[in-house]
Structure formats: C-alpha cells, structure tokens
Structure 1
C-alpha cells in the first residue's frame, strides 16, 4: 500500500476513535516525508512523517533526535505501534497515530491519547471472524482484567461471579471474557481454565489504565509546604497511596517527592483538609505535586497502598527512570 493511502487509513481510524473530523491534505511545510499532512477539525495541521513497520524496528535514538526539533509540527504515522513504543514516544513528546486508532496528539488545545487498540482488519466489522473485538482494553474490560489478575482463581468462576467482583455488567463481562479467550489471555483445556500470557496482559493493562480509567477520575492537582505530609495523616480511612509513596512503603526503594493518592468520593474534603493540601494554581510549578484520584475499586481500610497492579502502572506512566526502577521491583515482588 502506498504510504499516503496507509496514512489515510490511520487518519480514518483515529477519527472513528475520537469522534473528530480528521482529514488528509497536502503538506506545505516541507516537513513530511510523503508530502502529506492531517487536519483536525480545520483547526490545526500536522505534517505526516510516515514509517513502515521495518522502519519502526530500525528507528534508534539518533533518528528520534533528528525529528525532535520539529516534533510539535509533526505526527508520526505507522501501520502498528506497540504499547511499549507508544509509551516511550509520549514521554519524549512525539505525536503519533497508527492504523488501529492508537494515537497521541498534544497540540494547540488538543490533548488526545487513544491506546489499547489492536490491529484492525481492512473491513470494518463489529467483531472479527476469530472473535477478537478489542473490548478487553476499554474501561469495562480493564476492570474485568483487574479482578482476574488480582484473583487468578476467579477466571474459572461463573461469568456472574466475575461480573460481581469487577463491578461490570454481566453482558459486558461476557463480551470481555470472549475477547480475552480470542486473544489467548484465557486458556481452556477441558474443564481447566487459566490465565495465559500473564506478563503481556499486565503490560497491556498498565499501558491502558491511566488513559482509559484513572485520568477520567481526577479529583485535582495539589501541593503541600511539608515534604513529609504523607507521614502525618492520622485517623483517616478511605484512601490508598500509589506512585512513589507506595513504592517507598512496599520496597523501601524511593524517597518520595511527588504523591498520588486514591480516595473514596465521600472523604475527599476530609482528606484534603487533614493533609493540609492546597490546589495548585495556574502556571504554578511547586516542588511537591500531589495528584488525587477517585478509586474505581473498593478501598480496604487496613491497606494504605493501592493494589500492586495499579502502583506498577502509575509508576511506569511517569517515564521517570527512578520510578521505572521502582516499578520493576514492584512487579518482581508482587506481580510475577
């Protein structure tokens, strides 16, 4: 397929995912290697830098450095981008899109992150002949996977039991279960059922979770004048630490700088007041940043740290090298 036609496929896939008018046009900047650009709602135009699959595999740090000065004016288009590469590019500030609708655009007021989509067939259908639907890495699917990874014996339970444990409707649970079977993440041999390709499943969950669930439950960004604010919270329940503080609690590896806390909806005000947090002002860049989110799981009062799977995801999402090291320790200790 000609690169321009392939890039058009990427634009169409993204348009379907994010419900925006995304169209191809000629490139007038001279930055595109195929002479094409994409327009978003006629507001912004980005030069398309096309990479074939083999180009993606050969791409190295030096190549990325050559593109970096123009990264705000470019969008890299490619047939397939892996979850790991997508995470890396987002941290480096590159914009991208692939033929499945995975994309990142952060430009002139547009902030689009679309992740977790598997390669699509050339014909748009509700489900593929092999049963793959892509439902597993949407919000409901991530909740089902979360329950299965936290209690692997649950995979052999009834769909109703899985539905009740994950808080997902029975119909959605059934669709996700079938999709996990089709993708090979659940394996059945007679009456024996087990999770399969578990490490890959963890990585894909961790990649999708911040964008599909967590960021939609943001309470706010806060700061504190006390670097040890998190040590002084007494007589509070309904919260759990994640990120750097959780890594410190579980592995004694990090000296926390920033905070990430999950709360119950009903105790948000009490937590902010007791912890003496204040909301970050516009344009302020405080030394300590504390992000508060509403938890999608049931918080246990006897645990002050979030589930390891959530902590792992929150740590790798930062892209910070010390947090990545801490994430590897969490994974080795609690998720292998």
Structure 2
C-alpha cells in the first residue's frame, strides 16, 4: 500500500500525463501508465507504455521534471534496464539536443518531443511552452532543496556519518539541526536511510547519488560561484600544492578529476574555498572574466574535512555532469566505476 503522500503524488503525476494525452494522440501514440508494487520501478517515477495503432509498442521508465536546462540534460541518469522518457514542463533547445545525443526520449508541455524505437521516429522541435511550470522533479522536497543537497552531499561523501548524532551531521553539512532532521526524515521515507541494530545507515546509495547529482546541477551548483577568472595558462596548480593548502583551497571539477582519471586533460580549473583567496588571485595574476573564465572559484558549502588537495569525488563527479560537456560526462562515468569512494556507493 502507498502512504497518503505517495498516493497524492501518484495522482498528481497521473494527472500530468492525462494533460499530455492530446499531444500524444496528435503524434499517433497511446499512453498507459500503471502503479502498484508489481509495477514499481527503481530509479524512475514510474513505468509508461507508448503504443501505436499498428500494434508496435515500447515500455519506458518515465521521469518527471519541472524544467530541463542543458546542465540537467547532461546530469540526467538513464534507467539501467529500460529506455528513459522524460516528461517535463519545458525543455530548452540545447537540453533537447543533449537528450537526443544521449538517446533519451522526451516530451514537454509545448509538444516538443523526441520518441524513437524500432521504426518509430517522432522529432518535433521549436514549439514554445505556454508558461506552466510542469512537474516537480523529486519526491521529498526537503531532501532535494538547496540545504537538503548539502546534507545529501555529506551522507554520500562520508556514509558512516549516517550513524552519528544528528547534530554532527547538521554541523558537517552547514545547516540547522531542524533542516538536518527534515532531510533525514525525507530520506528515510524514501528508503535511502534505514535502521539496523539501532543504528542509522545509508542504503540504495548509488540511486541516491543519481538523484542528488541531478538536483545539484540545477539547485545548488548555480549558487556557489565566488568569481570567474581568466589566465593564459592554468597548469600552475599542479606545482602549487603547498600554496593551495596554506590558504585552505581545494581543487574540484576537471582539474580534480584529472587526478582521478589520467585520461583527462583539464581545460578549466575549479577551486573550492570558504572565501575568495585574494592572495592566490593576485599572485597568479587572475583577471576577472565577464562570463565563464577558465578558473572557477566556488564556495565550499560543507565543514567536514579530510587531508586531501581535492574535494570529495562525489562533488567532482557532480560538477562534471553539471558542466553540460559530453566529454566531461564521459570522464564522470569513468571515475564512477574506478574511484573507490564512488564505486562503494553503488555497492551500498
């Protein structure tokens, strides 16, 4: 049986699909969606079947999103065993292009769609949305709010902290005790936290990493910039280990990933700090960039520390996905397999 909240969410999602039936009918498609334990599907919001009058049909793992910008299109995780259909309020043209390149099917409220299986190919572009915001992308809004994502990051980076007192989790995440409690409650209801022998533990961590990194790309990542800078050559960081450590600056993004994946040659440098490291900016003659520079300085949003020149690989992974760069997406997939911290999450 579903809880009241789950039942209400199911009704809401079903209503959204009903609103799309006319658009799908115009495309010559019929849609069926079923709920219940026998139809439950991990890592997606439901299971949907599209069919044509000729009899050909395809079953999808359906994912609801409020809106899909290019950053989210890159960060989205396709289902592992079924083709994925994204149902969104709006999808930007760049995001649609990324989804098509990745083989992810989609339809939005304006009627833009890419649906392909066997001999079926529907590709509609350029329609403008009517302004409705569409579906919420996550159950458990506290867990995937900005503050909630900070808590999720700490849990994914240091899973043992799940069993520690809640006050410690709140402090490490840089959030209030009340926020930490609300996030833990949401994650417990969703099955990502559970109790064993009286101790709270992290479960289904690989699935949580998928959802966390997707939400991070649109909700938390855009709020972290301390400044964009430009230098002719970013390679100075390789020989500046002591300098960066002295000012408590850690390396993330492509540069951090290059220390985990030797196949990657970084074109940008991402630095995480509590505040702008003005001494380093001056010494390295960094010029302010009007838009995206080749050096990104970002706010460190957690207080948990470890003796490492790079940020936790969970954040490196998420930043690669959020870049919107297919090349960085490939490296993200590679380090998820080979990095011990990320690989261990997929085993939890």
Q: Report the equivalent of 2:183.
A: 176
Query: How many residues are paired up?
Result: 258
Q: 1:280 aligns with which of 282, 289, 303?
A: 289
Q: Report the equivalent of 2:243.
A: 235
Q: Report the equivalent of 2:315.
A: 310
1:59 is displaced (CA, Å) by 10
Q: 1:263 aligns with which of 273, 281, 296?
A: 273
Gaps of 5+ in 2: 1-10, 32-47, 52-56, 61-66, 79-85, 100-105, 110-127, 344-348
State the secondary structure of the residue aligned to 1:297.
coil
Counterpart-to-counterpart distance in 2, 1:325 and 1:83:
13
Q: Report the equivalent of 2:263.
A: 253
Counterpart-to-counterpart distance in 1, 2:264 and 2:138:
33
1:197 is displaced (CA, Å) by 0.6
Gaps of 5+ in 1: 11-31, 36-49, 61-74, 99-106, 119-132
Change (3 A) 1:268 1:92: farther
1:219 is displaced (CA, Å) by 2.0
Counterpart-to-counterpart distance in 2, 1:93 and 1:328:
16
- Answering whether residue 198 of structure 2 is matched by residue 205 of structure 1, we say no
1:148 is displaced (CA, Å) by 1.7
Change (3 A) 1:51 1:235: farther
Counterpart-to-counterpart distance in 2, 1:113 and 1:318:
24
1:302 is displaced (CA, Å) by 4.6
Counterpart-to-counterpart distance in 1, 2:158 and 2:204:
16
Q: CA RMSD in A?
A: 4.5
Change (3 A) 1:161 1:320: same
Q: Report the equivalent of 2:5.
A: none
Q: Map of 1:217-232 to 2, 5 A cutoff?
A: 217-232=224-239
Q: Report the equivalent of 1:84.
A: 77
Does the Cα contact within 8 Å between 1:116 and 1:207 map onto a contact in 2? no
Q: Spell out, residue by residue over 1:304-326, the C-alpha distance to the aligned partner (whole angstroms, 9 max, x if none).
A: 21111100001122243332232
1:92 is displaced (CA, Å) by 2.6
1:139 is displaced (CA, Å) by 1.6
Counterpart-to-counterpart distance in 2, 1:51 and 1:272:
58
Q: Report the equivalent of 2:298.
A: 293
Counterpart-to-counterpart distance in 1, 2:287 and 2:30:
45
Change (3 A) 1:204 1:115: farther
Q: Report the equivalent of 2:335.
A: 330
1:190 is displaced (CA, Å) by 4.6
